[in-house]
Amino acid sequence: MRNSSFTVAVTSLFLLLGCEQSSFDQASFDPLRGVKFAVVATPEPCLPTSPPTIVAPPSTEPPPTEPPPTEPPPTEPPDPTDPPTEPPPDPTDPPDECDVPLLTRTQGFWKNHTCVIDGVVGGLSLLPVSLGATVTFDSSAEVQAYFQTPPKGDPQIILGHQLLAAKFNAKAFGIGNYVFADVDADGDLETVDELLALGDVAFDEGDDERRLVLGAVLDELNNAGDGESLPFNPACGGKGGK
Ligand SMILES: [Ca+2]
């Protein structure tokens, strides 16, 4: 009887401790603990398809008509005494890196620059844009309204804001190949594109801790290139600009 009561008491104590250990204390949680960042973020070697770049807005002028094809000039046989114009490429050379700066802007910029999201400035529409498989924004007004939604501690909205800004940065500035941080502690640094994919999964089905970790890492990313100059004037006139 006495042993039985003691067992019940001990069991209750363990259950109590177990409950306390499994509860998630968001206030004291450090989302960047254990996350390793690249000392200097660097782009991975360029993929066969080059990253997107800012392009000029489409011209309204009709395309110039091409002149009729002319016959190619007769080629002369190569002079065996001519020196070769270019040496053959050295196979031991390292592959080229993507020649784009790590350029980013924070969610505050994107909230206030709907004209850049629309492509009116910068020449590249960043819409539609999705968060996970569940949320899609088709207009910059929807994006702005979402950025203006106070998170109030909701990890999904905290992540959603950072993920949205990071997706705009990746698409507008072509930084998807940058190696940035190891968020799963497997020793391999994830690229920006990989972090965005992980963010999408966490947005849909991640627990609070996972969402806060990815939100904090993407926050770091969105600030990492905030000092780089933009290749265009981001002023949006009197409408949502600054
Ligand atoms: Ca990793």
Distance 37 CA to ligand 1 centre (A): 10
Whole-number Å distance, alpha carbon 105 to ligand 1 midpoint, is 24
Which parts of the chain are beta strand (E)? 36-43, 129-131, 135-137, 178-182, 190-191
At residue 237, the pLDDT reads: 74
The C-alpha angle with vertex 212 and arms to 204 and 175, in degrees rounded to 5, equals 80
Q: Is the pLDDT of residue 86 over 70?
A: no
Q: Residue 158 Cα, ligand 1 centroid: separation in angstroms?
A: 22
From the CA of 90, how far away is ligand 1's center (Å)? 32
User: What is residue 72's DSSP assignment?
Assistant: P
205 against 13, higher pLDDT:
205
Q: What pLDDT sits at residue 202?
A: 98
Classify 65 as helix, strand or coil.
coil
Q: How far is the CA of 163 from the centre of ligand 1 (A)?
A: 18
Distance from residue 51's CA to the centre of ligand 1 (Å): 22
Pick 33 or 13 by higher pLDDT. 33
Q: Are 181 and 195 in contact (CB under 8 A)?
A: yes
CA of 189 to the centre of ligand 1 (A): 5
CA of 194 relative to ligand 1 center, distance in Å: 9
Give the pLDDT band of residue 64 (cuts 50, 70, 90): low
Calculate the average pLDDT of the chain.
81
CA–CA separation, 27 and 71 (whole Å): 74
> pTM of the prediction?
0.71
Distance 218 CA to ligand 1 centre (A): 14
Q: At 54, list the tokens.
A: 């800012």
129 has which bridge partners?
137
Compute the CA torsion angle 54, 58, 61, 66 (nearest 10 deg): 70
Q: What are 123-142's pLDDT values in tens digits? A: 999 999 999 999 999 999 99
The alpha carbon of 41 and the centre of ligand 1 are apart by a number of angstroms equal to: 14
Q: How far apart are the CA of 205 and the centre of ligand 1, in A?
A: 19
Cα–Cα distance for residue pair 82/115, rounded to 1 Å: 55
| pLDDT interval class at 44 (50, 70, 90) | confident
How far is the centre of ligand 1, averaged over its atoms, from the C-alpha of 35 (Å)? 9
Length of the chain: 242
Radius of gyration of the chain (CA): 26
Separation CA 122–CA 149 (nearest Å): 26
Q: State whether residue 104 is helix, strand or coil.
A: coil
Q: Are 42 and 97 in contact (CB under 8 A)?
A: yes
- Tracing tokens 């000029």 back to the chain, one arrives at 56
Predicted pLDDT of residue 119: 96
Assess contact for 54 and 122: CB atoms under 8 A: yes
Q: Residue 36 C-alpha to ligand 1 middle, in angstroms?
A: 9
The three-class DSSP label of residue 39 is strand
- Ligand 1 centroid–CA 184 distance in Å is 5
- CA 120 to centroid of ligand 1, rounded, Å: 37
Q: How far is the CA of 52 from the centre of ligand 1 (A)?
A: 25
pLDDT at 83 over 60: no
Q: Calculate how far, in angstroms, residue 39's C-alpha sits from the geometric centre of ligand 1.
A: 15
Tokens of 175: 């930084």
Find where tokens 């069991």 sit. 11
Q: Decide if pLDDT at 14 tops 90.
A: no
Using 50, 70 and 90 to split pLDDT, how confident is the model at 1?
A: very low
**Separation CA 237–CA 74 (nearest Å):** 56
